[in-house]
Structure 1
């Protein structure tokens, strides 16, 4: 007999149990969504309405009535963009764009940064202004940037505004990417809405590979390493030796990559199965041999957004070398602040911005010198560049993850002054499974792209019934190994 009260409770928003891609609720949600979506797949209007309704409900399950902010944002920017496009007066166009930017940034600022600046004011003036302790709406940083890029692109006449409000609401609320990205441009997404829904073997194979791979990265690698080792290190670094702290930093590098890229992969896979292609958000970033290359491979949608809507408008490289380096540093400072209201994030962004400016000097020098390095020397430099870039990124992750500057410097102090390499065997015996999962994670990360393509092709050749059987078996396997307490994705807070 069905327990009605329990069913209603499951369907309502629970702040202690937000819906996750790796939750049992999501599998039922996704199965029902697919059934309804396939039932109307021949109608563009039907697909839009089904997808939008399920997306808004998904967002409601994630953060309650803050779902209204998505609808409100869609209404405002849908109308403002059309006004901007059809207004002949340039000054009015610019005023409307500024108004749109102020509204979007203002909404983001209010929820995300109000308490941060209240704290600064209190520190500077010895004031006693009470923090608001606002609950941060999940995904607000992502859909705010999507709104901004849309209105800016319309203002630049790079795209025409959509005529149908439901199309825009569908684009903004699209549930696979709503909460954790990628940040999708309207120009890439909206034209796909009117295309007929068709799946081929490549779509099925690629989608399955992305979903399975994303779940594996998130649950088997990221959650396991974090819950069984990394969290203990960062909770209080002073209680651990330098060797433990260093391995903890390497572990966190895997945790944040597998957590965020795992979710992004699942979003891409779900989108692919439902007829939409979203640009990839990661490209094996720890294979980068320079910090410039790293930011072309890490959180690609954010770094490209910052480039197109911040770095280039600031002047990019058009106003001299000195200004270019300042623009790079400023862009990354703002990128760090985008991640959260914390001096740690600002410092993290500042370090990356400084490194990008220095790397730009290196690149310019190589171009001027015109010295071609080939053979074994090029290979050595490549490997050295990968190791140097990886360790710089890991050093920056310390400040990104640590709860405070004190904890970050405490961890660094332990690595420098209390390394104790002699405890290696004892440490290995205590965390054998964790270390082997870390090895597996790095091996998979450095796996050649052609190996991934081979797996995708094999999955694409499997009949539909076989694909369903593989997914069911894989989900069952994950249920056996995943922890009883699901780990909230790291980028939920951004």
Structure 2
């Protein structure tokens, strides 16, 4: 007999067991969703309603009744955007836009930064204000930015507001990208709602390649390296040699990339299977030969959002070189603060902002010189640029990951003053599996894009039964290697 209480416990929100793409519950959820979605696939409104209901339930399973914030945000910005579009007064339009920005940023600020500023006030003014210890609603940073881009685009006259509230709620709550992005623009997404649902071999193959690859990156590479090595290093760097700390930093570079890009790939693949194309969020960022190129390849949806809605409105490169460098630095400082209420994130953003400004000086200088390099010299410079960029990014990851500045500087101190390379053999004996997974991760990362396209093509040419069989076998293999407790994705906290 079915245990009703146990079934209800599975269906209700459990704060200690949020739904994740790599959790067992999600596979059942997704199977039921697909059956319902396919049943109404010929009806545009039917698809919208089914997708929205399942998306809101998915969000409820992830963070409980905070799902109401998504609905409330949708109601507010749906109506404000229509008001902005329909009014003829420029002053009223601007006032409504400012009101929308204040509401959205205010909601994000309240949940994410209140305790941070209470702490500052207490430190500076010797105050005794009690922190609120608010639970951060999952995904609020992502759907706040989507709301803002929507109302700003309507204000600029770049898009027309949607006529039906359910279409906007569907866009905002779309579960594949709701909690960890990518940050999707309404102008890219909403027109796809009205297109008929058609799935071809390319969609099946590309979607499966993204889902399978994303699960592999998240579970086999990221979770394994973090649980078996990286977490021990960052818990207390002072207890480890410099060699261990350096390898821990390299490991974390893989962990955060495979964790976030793996989740993004799964989101894009799931969306592809349901008839929606979401732009890629990562493009092999550690292959970058400059910090400017890195930010074109890393978290692309956030980088482009900051460029279009912050950097350019600040003046971009239109107000002279010095102002451009300041705008770059300020944009990255704010981008760092977006990641979390911590001085570590602000410092991380500041480092990247300063590096982008310096790199811009380099690029401008090269344009003036117009020097031509031979093939060998250009190749050597490319390799050197990749190594330098990678190690700068890794240095910044130390502050991103460390719990405090003290821990970050402690790790750096161990690398500089207590390296002890002689313990490598002993270290290898203890962590051989971890190091080989790290090697595998970097090798896969540096494979040419053609390899992924070829895999997607092979999967796309397979019959449906074969594709299903591959997916089932792959999931079974993942179950054998994954940890008993699914690891919370890193970007859940943002």
Q: Deviations over 1:260-305 (max 9, x none)?
A: 0000000000000000000100000000000000000000000000
Specify the SS of the correspondent of 1:138.
coil
The residue number in structure 2 matching 1:236 is: 236
Q: Find the counterpart in structure 1 of residue 90 from structure 2.
A: 90
Residue matched to 2:184: 184
Which whole-Å deviations, capped at 9, do the CAs of 1:337-392 have from their partners, x for residues lacking one?
A: 00000000000000000000000000000001111213100000000000000000
Whether 2:347 is the aligned partner of 1:347: answer yes
Q: Distance in 2 between matches of 1:372 and 1:282?
A: 30
Aligned counterparts of 1:86 and 1:453: Cα–Cα separation in 2: 45
Q: How does 1:80-479 map to 2 (within 5 A)?
A: 80-479=80-479
Q: Matches of 1:167 and 1:278 in 2, distance apart?
A: 17
Residue 28, structure 1, aligned to residue 37, structure 2: no
For 1:8, the equivalent position in structure 2 comes to: 8
SS at 2:407 equivalent: helix
Aligned partners of 2:154, 2:293: CA distance in 1, in Å? Answer: 30
2:55 aligns to what SS in structure 1?
helix
Structure 1 CA distance for aligned equivalents of residues 278 and 295 of structure 2: 19
In the TM superposition, structure 1's runs of 4+ consecutive aligned residues that sit over 3 Å from their partners are none
Aligned to 1:78: 78
CA RMSD of aligned residues (A): 0.3
Structure 1 distance, partners of 2:486, 2:323, is 46
Return the alpha-carbon distance in structure 1 between the equivalents of residues 269 and 371 of structure 2.
Answer: 43
TM-score (norm 1): 1.00
Q: Deviations over 1:148-186 (max 9, x none)?
A: 000000000000000010000000000000000000000
Q: Deviations over 1:130-158 (max 9, x none)?
A: 00000000000000000000000000000
Rounded Cα–Cα distance in structure 1 between residues aligned with 2:425 and 2:22: 34
d(CA) in 1 for partners of 2:370, 2:483: 54
CA distance in 2: counterparts of 1:267 and 1:352, whole angstroms: 27
Deviation at 1:486, TM superposition (A): 1.3
> Separation in 2 of the partners of 1:327 and 1:426?
48
Aligned length: 494
In the alignment, the residues of structure 1 paired with residue 487 and residue 229 of structure 2 have an alpha-carbon distance, to the nearest angstrom, of 14
1:13 deviates by 0.2
In 2, distance between residues paired with 1:271 and 1:451? 22
Distance 2:250 2:374 in 1: 31
- For residues 91 and 215 of structure 1, the distance between their equivalents in structure 2, rounded to whole angstroms, comes to 49
Q: CA offsets per residue over residues 87-107 of structure 1, 9 Å max, x none?
A: 000000000000000000000
The runs of 5 or more residues in structure 2 that have no matched partner are: none
State the alpha-carbon separation in 1 of the partners of residues 176 and 300 from structure 2. 17
User: Which deviations, in whole Å up to 9, do the C-alpha atoms of 1:92-132 show, x marking residues without a partner?
Assistant: 00000000000000000000000000000000011100000
Provide the rounded CA distance (Å) in 1 between the counterparts of 2:383 and 2:461: 37
Per the TM alignment, residue 485 of structure 1 is displaced from its structure 2 partner at its CA by: 1.7
Partner of residue 493, structure 1: 493
Aligned with 2:172: secondary structure?
helix
User: Partner of 1:10: helix, strand, or coil?
Assistant: helix
Partners of 2:159 and 2:288 in 1: CA distance = 33
